[in-house]
Amino acid sequence: MSKLFDNADWTESSLQEIWQVIKDIAINEFKLDFYDPYFEVVTFEEMLQIYSTSFPVMYNHWSFGKNYEDLYRQYKNNRTSIAYEVIFNTSPALCYLLENNSSVMQALVMAHAAVGHSAFFKMNAFLRENTNAKTIIPFMKNMRTFVQDCEVKYGADRVEKILDACISLSAYSIDRAEKPVYTNKQKEAKRIKRLDAKEQDFDILVEGMKDPDTKIEKKERVNEENLLKFVAKYSPGLKPWERDLINMFCKVEQYFYPQRLTKTMNEGFASFWHYELMTRLSELGYLKGGDFMEFLHSHTGVLCQHGMEHKYYRGLNPYKMGYELYAEIKRICLNPTEEDKKYFPQLIGKNWIDEVNYAAINFRDASFIQQYLSPKIVRDFKLLKFNSDSRNDYVEVTATHDTEDFKEIRAGLEAHYDYYSRLPYITIEGASLKGNRTLYINVIEKRPKEVDEESLYYSLCLLKKLWPYPLNIKYTSYNKEQIQTTL
């Protein structure tokens, strides 16, 4: 059966055979559910182009060209490696394979992407709630055409300024709460309420015309987290096509939103299952000893965790951390220690395949860490927690990996993996739509030195291009000090 990998070079038919074997094992033995893949083999230039835009179909913007040039220069100077594969959360799943991969590497990336990532995309509840894998490709094609048409009709400069502002505020273009579902009766009641409000607004406007000194001030929509969607709906300075463009951008960011909060889980799940699948291929006789060593060389390279003193240290490796958490679930189910019985009684004696898949379905990074980080992983990674104060010439270590009190470390790591908890909390308190059209913005610093004032000022200046009227900004520091200014 090892004939599949007798030749390091692959053919179209051999790739189909390799995929069929991997698919059968993934479905029948490991109970994985994933989208049917659409494979495409690409050159490294094409791979860089896809990687730089984050999606195979994307609207025009100068930042994507900059990303491509940066990646190309780093690759040519041996400062980065090229991705072996790229897959997208679509149905069918678009999976791009690098043409320089050997047969063994193509099997590895198929197991990693077409099984691991695709299964996570399809199974994870958070991704299912926020994305639609079947409609995203048509939507992105329509948006690309819309942007191109707007550049011709209204000028590329104006389109670019709109997109610059949107990209700068992309973290605040998300609907984090689930959208309410209304019955027909509720919809009719809301329609009548809107008509009544319009009549009241007309009466107020008439009174204002009778008495020019009357000030008309009315705030709408208090505490809105989705800044861009609010501006697209209410800004007096936007044209219809500009509102449509901003709303389209918000939909794109909503698609990428859950992927930011599940990166460690996603990469760990793909790495865990590519290891299990490749190991199973070896056990069944498909992989020879040398082939398996080629796989292990790549596997250990991707999952390498550099120490803080290493020149390539970039923090915790999401591949490594995610893989170890899933592997820990398997170990506890099969070979628990007394420590495991204390902290994870719910896993003892369970079917490890069911438990690994259950974890992938029901959590995102922060809650995944809280639920499954074990004292063993804390010790293996040599994790510790410390408090630093710039006024002191020392760092205070409050929890270490070799103590029993690992819960403090777990809580700190959970906060680290909550992407939006590391950003300042910015909301729109309201807008004076019938008065001086002031937009009221509230900025709260949740952590010390969290707000980069220069970046915040730049983003608000771009926001002012979308709302060309006064911005009333109330800034609350971590120490509860308040500053109010108008931009």
pLDDT of 1: 46
The reply to whether 118 and 225 lie within a common domain is: no
The reply to whether 435 and 401 lie within a common domain is: no
The reply to whether 7 and 119 lie within a common domain is: yes
Inside any domain, residue 51: yes
Q: What is the mean pLDDT of residues 396-424?
A: 81
Q: What is the mean pLDDT of residues 297-301?
A: 91
pLDDT tens sequence across 122-144: 999 999 988 999 999 999 999 99
The reply to whether 112 and 28 lie within a common domain is: yes
Inside any domain, residue 159: no
The reply to whether 14 and 118 lie within a common domain is: yes
The reply to whether 376 and 463 lie within a common domain is: no
Q: What is the mean pLDDT of residues 30-41?
A: 94
Domain boundary (374, 401, 421) is at 421
Which residues span the domain enclosing 395? 318-421
% of residues, the chain, pLDDT over 70:
87
Q: What is the mean pLDDT of the chain?
A: 85
The reply to whether 177 and 233 lie within a common domain is: yes
Residue of higher predicted confidence among 455 and 228: 228
Inside any domain, residue 290: yes
Inside any domain, residue 134: no
Q: Which two tokens stand for residue 138?
A: 């048509």
Q: Quote the CA–CA distance of 169 and 210 in Å, as a whole number.
A: 41
Which residues, in sequence order, are bridge partners of residue 441?
428, 473
- What's the structural domain count of the chain? 3
Residue 294 pLDDT > 70: yes
The reply to whether 60 and 171 lie within a common domain is: no
Helix H, strand E, coil C: the string for the chain is: CHHHHCCCCCCHHHHHHHHHHHHHHHHHCCCCCCCCEEEEEECHHHHHHHHHHCCCCCCCCHHHHHHHHHHHHHHHCCCCCCCCEEECCCCCEEEEEECCCCHHHHHHHHHHHHHHHHHHHHHCHHHHHHCCCCCHHHHHHHHHHHHHHHHHHHCHHHHHHHHHHHHHCHHHCCCCCCCCCCCHHHHHHHHHHHHHHHHHHHHHHHHHHHCCCCCCCCECCCCECCHHHHHHHHCCCCCHHHHHHHHHHHHHHHHHHHHHCCHHHHHHHHHHHHHHHHHHHHHCCCCCHHHHHHHHHHHHHHCCCCCCCCCCCCCCCHHHHHHHHHHHHHHHHHCCCHHHHHHCHHHCCCCHHHHHHHHHHHCCHHHHHHHHCCHHHHHHCCCCEEEECCCCCCEEEEECCCCCCCHHHHHHHHHHCCHHHHCCEEEEEEEECCCCCCEEEEEECCCCCCCCHHHHHHHHHHHHHHCCCCEEEEEECCCCCEEEEEC
pLDDT of 362: 95
pLDDT of 210: 47
The reply to whether 8 and 109 lie within a common domain is: yes
The reply to whether 12 and 96 lie within a common domain is: yes
The reply to whether 473 and 365 lie within a common domain is: no
pLDDT tens sequence across 151-201: 999 999 999 999 999 999 998 898 876 655 556 676 677 777 766 665 665
**Please, are residues 238 and 229 in contact by the beta-carbon 8 Å criterion?**
no
Inside any domain, residue 437: yes
Inside any domain, residue 292: yes
pLDDT of 206: 47
Residue 10 pLDDT > 90: no
Q: What is the dihedral of CA 84, 355, 123, 314, to 10 degrees?
A: -40
Inside any domain, residue 156: no
**Please, are residues 399 and 409 in contact by the beta-carbon 8 Å criterion?**
yes
Inside any domain, residue 412: yes
Of the ranges 175-184, 204-213, 263-272, 304-313, which one carries the lowest mean pLDDT score? 204-213
% of residues, the chain, pLDDT over 90:
47
pLDDT of 8: 67
Residue 218 pLDDT > 50: no
51-to-58, 65, 257, 394 alpha-carbon distances in Å: 11, 11, 17, 42
Residue 311 pLDDT > 60: yes
Residue of higher predicted confidence among 399 and 111: 111
Q: Quote the CA–CA distance of 325 and 96 in Å, as a whole number.
A: 27
Task: Kindly give the pairing relationship between strand 471-476 and strand 439-444.
Answer: parallel
**Please, are residues 462 and 164 in contact by the beta-carbon 8 Å criterion?**
yes
pLDDT of 467: 93
pLDDT of 359: 96
Residues with Cβ within 8 Å of 167's Cβ and at least 6 positions away in sequence, in order, are 61, 63
**Residue among 67, 245, 38, 68 at smallest CA distance from 144:** 245
One-letter amino acid for residue 110 of the chain: M
Domain boundary (421, 448, 475) is at 421
Q: What is the mean pLDDT of residues 403-430?
A: 83
pLDDT tens sequence across 335-353: 999 999 999 999 999 999 9
pLDDT of 422: 73
pLDDT of 213: 42
Of the ranges 232-246, 306-320, 370-384, which one carries the lowest mean pLDDT score? 306-320
pLDDT of 73: 84
Domain boundary (421, 452, 477) is at 421
Task: Kindly give the pairing relationship between strand 93-98 and strand 385-388.
Answer: unpaired
pTM (2 d.p.): 0.86
Of the ranges 79-93, 103-117, 394-408, 433-447, which one carries the lowest mean pLDDT score? 394-408
Q: Which two tokens stand for residue 46?
A: 């094409």
pLDDT of 142: 95
Residue 486: band (very low, low, confident or very high) from pLDDT cuts 50, 70, 90:
confident
**Please, are residues 102 and 55 in contact by the beta-carbon 8 Å criterion?**
no
The reply to whether 368 and 455 lie within a common domain is: no
Residue 459 pLDDT > 60: yes
Residue 466 pLDDT > 70: yes
